[in-house]
Amino acid sequence: MNTYWSKNIMPVGIGLRHSHFQDALNQPANLDFIEVHSENFFADGGAAPALLKEISNLYPVSLHGVSLGLGSAAGVAESHINALSRLVNHISPVMVSDHASFSWGQIENQLHHAGDLLPIAFNQQTLDIMSENIIKVQDHLNRQILVENLSSYIEPQNSTLSELEFFKALVKKTGCRMLLDINNLAVNATNAGEPDVLASINHWLEQIPSDHVHEIHLAGCTPVAKGEIMIDDHSQQVSELVWQAYGTAIARFGAVPTTIEWDTDLPQWHVLIGEANKARTIANAILQGTDRLTCASTTPAL
């Protein structure tokens, strides 16, 4: 296993969106990495790849995809994998990740992309499909990828496994690791009507093997009244409930790279950096208090 960060570093980054590009270049912040959406930089040549290369001179880059569609029964388009592979070779990212969702489908013998993160049922069939696609991508990239748990607004039909059981089996079958989105756990528990959302999240964190989680996402979303559907809109500061769960996660998983996501109603740069600093402060306090500062690592090669 290769290690990117030293054991004395609690790696914290932010998801970089277009309106903050110049801030990231002109006001370099104390960040251990920058996360970008892979598909925004698939073009060969032009301003976007050049800008990303300039940013990579200041910060290590993590590539977070939203379109691989790893759960697609139709498979993942070769053209998409090839584009991701070219970007990986161009930017040498510290992490590569995508979601436990499906996006690709066959219509009249042609492969089409749905343009969204569509949910999958959790059962043996979807486990086999996603495993085959992950192994294909990892073999092509010659590196391990991280797979993120999805926010949920419906209960997938035909599920015979819990989400926890699904991810445990997925890691075992493919050698991938999890990108754990704690706010997604909060959204799912809220939408499922769990009486104690924090207790539900903590149960999830306690049940997933500690070596399965190699990155954490933190985000905030618009609060809702009891009984309303919560949408994972990434429009707010991280909620106090998610910060509490984050503390539990760090105590259990150690110095796992942590990314602050904020995608709508974007704040000023200093507010976003403030959220990253808060994550670092909370994590370091817990790690120093529990003496669990372990080596945060990625595994670029299988």
The residue behind tokens 């139709």 is 74
Is residue 7 domain-resident? no
Query: Phi and psi for 181 in degrees, rounded to 5?
Result: -95, 110
Helices 78-91 and 124-141: crossing angle in degrees, nearest 10, is 50
Q: What is the pLDDT of residue 294?
A: 44
Is residue 299 domain-resident? no
Q: What is the pLDDT of residue 208?
A: 97
Our CA dihedral for 72, 78, 79, 85, rounded to 10 degrees, sits at 100
Spatial contact of 12 and 299, defined as CB atoms under 8 Å apart: no
pLDDT above 60 for 122: yes
pLDDT above 80 for 28: yes
> What digits encode the pLDDT tens for the residues 42-53?
998 889 989 999
- Residue 295: band (very low, low, confident or very high) from pLDDT cuts 50, 70, 90: very low
Give every CB contact of residue 228 below 8 A, 6+ residues apart in sequence. none
d(CA 87, CA 299): 18
Is residue 237 domain-resident? yes
Average pLDDT over residues 254-267: 96
| DSSP per-residue letters across 50-97 | HHHHHHHTTS-EEEE-S---TT-TT---HHHHHHHHHHHHHH--SEEE
Cβ burial of 28 (10 Å; 0-12, 13-18, 19+) is: exposed
The DSSP code for 236 is B
Q: What is the pLDDT of residue 90?
A: 92
Please, which contacts does 225-230 make with residues 24 or more away whose CB atoms are closer than 8 Å? Answer: 227/193, 229/153, 229/191, 230/186, 230/187, 230/190, 230/191
pLDDT above 50 for 293: no
Q: What is the pLDDT of residue 290?
A: 57
Total domains present in the chain: 1
- Residue 301: band (very low, low, confident or very high) from pLDDT cuts 50, 70, 90: very low
Spatial contact of 146 and 96, defined as CB atoms under 8 Å apart: yes
Is residue 5 domain-resident? no
Counting residues of the chain whose pLDDT is more than 90, the rounded percentage is: 81
Of 201, 204, 195, 209, which Cα lies nearest the Cα of 183? 201
pLDDT above 80 for 299: no
Spatial contact of 283 and 258, defined as CB atoms under 8 Å apart: yes
pLDDT above 50 for 296: no
- Residue 96: band (very low, low, confident or very high) from pLDDT cuts 50, 70, 90: very high
Q: Strand 110-118 to strand 102-107: parallel, antiparallel, or no bridges (unpaired)?
A: antiparallel
- Residue 111: band (very low, low, confident or very high) from pLDDT cuts 50, 70, 90: confident
> What digits encode the pLDDT tens for the residues 124-146?
999 999 999 999 999 999 999 99
Q: What is the pLDDT of residue 7?
A: 72
Tokens for 82, please give them.
Answer: 């090839």
pLDDT above 60 for 99: yes
* pTM of the predicted protein model: 0.92
Helices (H) and strands (E) in the chain, counts: 9, 10
Average pLDDT of the chain? 92
d(CA 13, CA 66): 18
Average pLDDT over residues 194-206: 97
Q: Is the dihedral of CA 124, 118, 100, 238 positive or negative?
A: negative
Which residue range forms the structural domain that includes residue 69? Answer: 12-292
pLDDT above 90 for 152: no
Is residue 301 domain-resident? no
> What digits encode the pLDDT tens for the residues 163-199?
999 999 999 999 999 999 999 999 999 999 999 999 9
The residue behind tokens 């998983």 is 253
> What digits encode the pLDDT tens for the residues 76-92?
999 999 999 999 999 99
Is residue 297 domain-resident? no
Is residue 104 domain-resident? yes
- Residue 302: band (very low, low, confident or very high) from pLDDT cuts 50, 70, 90: very low
d(CA 18, CA 146): 24
* CATH number for 88: 3.20.20.150
pLDDT above 70 for 3: no
* SS3 state at 299: coil
Average pLDDT over residues 107-117: 83
Is residue 230 domain-resident? yes
* SS3 state at 118: strand
